[in-house]
Chains A and B, each alone.
Chain A
Amino acid sequence: MFNKIALSGVPNGFNNFSFGMLFSVIFHGSIFVATIFALPFVVKKPIELLPSISVELIQISEQMNIPYAPKAAKIIEKAKTENKKLLSEQAPPKEIKKEINKQVKFDNQKDEIDLSKSKKIPVPEKKQEKVKLEKSEAVPLPDKKLEKIETEQETEQQPSKEKKKTLVEKEKRKKIEKQVEKDLIIKEFVKKTKPIKDDKAIQASEFEKKELDVDLIKGLIAKQYENVGEVKKKSDGITQSEDKSMRLTKLSVTTEYSIQMQYKDCWSPPIGGEYKKNDYLVTVKLDLEKNGRVKSREILERNRMGIDSKYRIFAESVDRAVLKCNPLRNLPLKTYEDWSTMILRFNPEGMMVGQ
């Protein structure tokens, strides 16, 4: 009835307009509200920061080298039991160790947690790190790094505590500092066992379950020792094994030279041929008697001889050389076992026979 009256008093067009307006307002309003609360780019989500894991990448070689490695091993052995206590969150807190953490503040509380985290990295990941360590070549002196750590510690320790504590306490602190140094070394190793790209969060319970793998650290130290040795070798220049001209054989240099000279006289490579680098390499396996006589000979590239006529001609010249130089002279009887079987590689690369 009301509707009828109300609507009857106004023109139909107005009624339609007001209804349209109302519908529009409600419709747009709802969209606006939905926009505010529902659309993702409008919603302001709280920033959920993942617990940060600070990973300090330090080459193990920065901490260790040959002279220092045994020291570190000893330190680790001594710290074996202490570390278990120190790094276990469940262990009863000792005053000294708390002081250490407070005084040194080398990594703050978070770092300590991180440290504990790093202990729990599974073994395969540690192996990956090992590989990285093997590649490290830069080996600065260990003292420098340790000094650095000490200076950092001093700057942090000096302002408040030195005035308050007695000389006895100072001595204690020195001892503690030494322990901290040890811990630092251990920490550095442990940090290295962290996988660099592992962003997965690890539960605290996992940290608690696992302990510092001292054996692994020992292994790392030993490995580092080897690495340093390798680096030194490389820095010495090309080794005999790397130098083709000084390739190690079981023969003495004079014997090898003598054999080369004998074949130089016996071998007449086909001069007319064109020989490019390593194009015509003929390998002959010789079985020799004690008097140097050839028991049997075998050209290892038989297949190519059947296909490549030029190569066959070249290989035949090698075969002639072997026969012409039969028996080989000046071979040491004492080392017969070493040269009883011999591989000769005839390569005309060093000869100007082509043009």
Chain B
Amino acid sequence: MKKNLFLIFLFYVILKPSISFSLVEIDITRGNLDPMPISVSPFFSDKITDENIKKDLNIENLGLEISKIIENNLEKTGLFDAIEKEAFLQKPDIAHLKPRFEDWALIKSQVLITGKVTSKIINEKDYINIEFKLWDVLGAKMVDGFSLTTTPRSWRRVGHKISDKVYERLTGESGYFDTRIIYVAEEGPKTQRIKKLALMDQDGFNTKYITLGSELVLTPRFNPANDKEITYMSYFRNMPRVYIVNLQTGEQKVVGDFRGMTFAPRFSPDGKKLIMSLAKDGNSEIWVRNLETNIQEKLTDHPSIDTSPSYSPDGKFITFNSDRSGYQQIYVMRSDGSKVKRISFGKGIYGTPVWSPRGDLIAFTKLHKGKFFIGVMRTDGTGERLLTENFYQEAPSWSPNGRIIIFYRETKTDDKGQGFSAKLWSIDLTGYNERLVSTETDASDPSWSSLLGN
């Protein structure tokens, strides 16, 4: 009997797959690449909160403003399409408690973001509490949400943090909205440009000028390990020098005492070293300086010009450009300067290589047939893709999630020397989502910070 039962079971096990084979199976290998329609409901706030916030920030409806920040951030990615608020059928306060998903599905929304703003007084100081919820309209469920309390002045950052959360939850990648960009703000005619260091949020708001414009500044770079520290090149006693500035304290110091011109500085991923170029006697080599021990070391030793160094995210490799092969090309070497290997072999001149924070790609500027390109290639030089071309553009810098590249682009001057401008632009890795980054003045040499700390 047991034997028979075992045999029956065995037959069942054997036949089971054949039964499942009889089902209709369909492969879906194509999807819709259009931006996902989302609804960002204005964040609800009661009357007391509105009055308090108006008193503190002079903003009529903070909840609405926060929702606009989120909308703007998500739309700029090219992955989301925010539905006009006029189309919403449900009031923000009720939607935040329990959305009528049918209403949101009716306006073709796949995702709904709701929130609530409440003012608080803690230790006689004004604070705001912001609550947010992310709803899957089709699935009729809440998929994410959080609540945080901060000072009223940080309300924009709250909007960015919510954007990061939504982006991460819907794309699977970390966000890049709660970040800052440092760049060189430019003013005046082309021949007499005034250049200042400027810092702003990634969406162009909250611009602050760090230098007065009396000295020429170039190539500012964030410390990846400390978003409150930057390095840049400026002139000191008519000699180009690399500086480090603490943005919180305003403390500024010259890096090293080199006999020659130091430029193109960049931090190591852990922020403990600074790598830069040193030009001396017509030759340029790459040096590294340990910021803790103040020991500096020469990494390259070649009669050609080696410059624009950039660390890999694990700190084990350095990419740089050199003209040792006759034309300027991109090279990769170990962080101790050994095993130098050329990786770019395409037609044209390659420069300003920057290693992606994800570690898989190197962004670069390419000059070919009089046109400038921003492109990416794998770290072994394969898979070169040119994302954008223009009359003049360079200095790519990666967003912290390695998805967007920011760079600057100059326009031609006309016959009268007019019409020149320099603007910041961003482009994503697909090459289709190219956007102008708004700045108060002309801008060049952007550098993207890592996600801001608290």
List residues of A whose CB falls within 8 A of some B CB.
Answer: 244, 247, 249-251, 256, 259-260, 263-273, 285, 309-310, 313-314, 316, 319-321, 323-324, 338-339, 341-353, 355
28 contacts between A and B (CB under 8 A): A247-B25, A249-B24, A250-B22, A256-B26, A260-B27, A264-B31, A267-B28, A272-B79, A272-B171, A273-B171, A285-B23, A313-B171, A320-B136, A320-B138, A320-B139, A321-B28, A324-B110, A339-B24, A341-B23, A342-B25, A343-B23, A344-B28, A345-B25, A345-B28, A348-B29, A351-B30, A352-B430, A353-B31
Shortest A235–chain B CB gap in Å is 26
Q: Which of B158-215 contact A (CB under 8 A)?
A: 167, 169-173
Chain B contact residues: over half helix, strand or loop, or mixed? loop
Stretch at the interface among B32-40, B86-94, B284-292, B301-309: B32-40
Which 3 pairs across A and B sit closest by C-beta, in order of nearness?
A: A272-B171, A350-B29, A267-B31
Contacting residue for B28 out of A260, A273, A316, A341, CB 8 A: A260
Interface centre among B26, B30, B143 (most CB of A within 10 A): B26
CB-CB under 8 A from B429, the residues of chain A are 355
Shortest B47–chain A CB gap in Å is 37
Q: Which of B27-74 contact A (CB under 8 A)?
A: 27-34, 36
CB-CB under 8 A from A324, the residues of chain B are 110, 138
CB-CB under 8 A from B385, the residues of chain A are 355
Instruction: Give Cα A269 to B30, complex, Å.
Output: 9
Supposing A250-B24, A342-B23, A351-B31 touch, asked if A268 and B139 sit within 8 A by C-beta, the answer is no
CB-CB under 8 A from B334, the residues of chain A are none
Instruction: Give Cα A333 to B172, complex, Å.
Output: 39
Shortest A243–chain B CB gap in Å is 12
Contact B24 A343 (CB under 8 A): yes
Interface centre among A249, A316, A339, A353 (most CB of B within 10 A): A316
Instruction: Give Cα A170 to B369, complex, Å.
Output: 93
Contact B171 A347 (CB under 8 A): no
Query: Is B403 an interface residue, CB under 8 A from the partner?
Result: yes
Contact A316 B31 (CB under 8 A): no
- Give B167's nearest chain A residue, CB to CB: A272
Shortest B74–chain A CB gap in Å is 11
Instruction: Give Cα A243 to B123, complex, Å.
Output: 72
Shortest A249–chain B CB gap in Å is 5
- Give A309's nearest chain B residue, CB to CB: B172
Contact B28 A268 (CB under 8 A): no
Shortest B112–chain A CB gap in Å is 13
List residues of B whose CB falls within 8 A of some A CB.
Answer: 22-34, 36, 77, 79, 110, 136, 138-139, 143, 167, 169-173, 361, 385, 403, 429-430
Instruction: Give Cα A250 to B169, complex, Å.
Output: 38
Contact A346 B28 (CB under 8 A): yes
Contact A268 B24 (CB under 8 A): no
Contact A320 B110 (CB under 8 A): yes
Supposing A272-B79, A343-B25, A355-B430 touch, asked if A260 and B30 sit within 8 A by C-beta, the answer is yes
Instruction: Give Cα A349 to B28, complex, Å.
Output: 10
Shortest B215–chain A CB gap in Å is 40
CB-CB under 8 A from A256, the residues of chain B are 26
Instruction: Give Cα A309 to B24, complex, Å.
Output: 29
Instruction: Give Cα A259 to B25, complex, Å.
Output: 11
Instruction: Give Cα A169 to B381, complex, Å.
Output: 87
Contact B27 A345 (CB under 8 A): yes
Contact B32 A265 (CB under 8 A): yes
If A272-B79, A285-B23 are given as contacts, then 8 extra A-B residue pairs at C-beta distance below 8 Å, sorted by A number, are A249-B26, A267-B28, A313-B170, A316-B143, A341-B24, A343-B25, A347-B28, A351-B29
Contact A323 B172 (CB under 8 A): no
Instruction: Give Cα A344 to B25, complex, Å.
Output: 6
- Give B37's nearest chain A residue, CB to CB: A268
- Give A282's nearest chain B residue, CB to CB: B28
Contact B171 A323 (CB under 8 A): no
CB-CB under 8 A from B26, the residues of chain A are 249, 251, 256, 259-260, 342-345
CB-CB under 8 A from B139, the residues of chain A are 316, 319-320, 323
Contact B171 A321 (CB under 8 A): no
Shortest A282–chain B CB gap in Å is 9
Contact A267 B25 (CB under 8 A): no
Contact A271 B79 (CB under 8 A): yes
Supposing A320-B110, A320-B138, A339-B24 touch, asked if A269 and B31 sit within 8 A by C-beta, the answer is yes
Shortest A92–chain B CB gap in Å is 51
Shortest B194–chain A CB gap in Å is 39
Instruction: Give Cα A319 to B110, complex, Å.
Output: 11
CB-CB under 8 A from B22, the residues of chain A are 250
Interface centre among B23, B143, B429 (most CB of A within 10 A): B23
Instruction: Give Cα A342 to B77, complex, Å.
Output: 35
CB-CB under 8 A from A338, the residues of chain B are 24
Shortest B379–chain A CB gap in Å is 14
Instruction: Give Cα A263 to B27, complex, Å.
Output: 10
Contacting residue for A351 out of B25, B33, B136, B138, CB 8 A: B33
Shortest A279–chain B CB gap in Å is 12
Instruction: Give Cα A316 to B171, complex, Å.
Output: 11
Instruction: Give Cα A309 to B169, complex, Å.
Output: 9
Shortest A43–chain B CB gap in Å is 59
Contact A266 B171 (CB under 8 A): no
- Give B175's nearest chain A residue, CB to CB: A272
Supposing A316-B143, A341-B23, A351-B29 touch, asked if A270 and B170 sit within 8 A by C-beta, the answer is yes
Supposing A320-B136, A323-B138 touch, asked if A249 and B25 sit within 8 A by C-beta, the answer is yes
Instruction: Give Cα A341 to B25, complex, Å.
Output: 9
- Give B79's nearest chain A residue, CB to CB: A271
Contact B24 A270 (CB under 8 A): no
Shortest A284–chain B CB gap in Å is 9
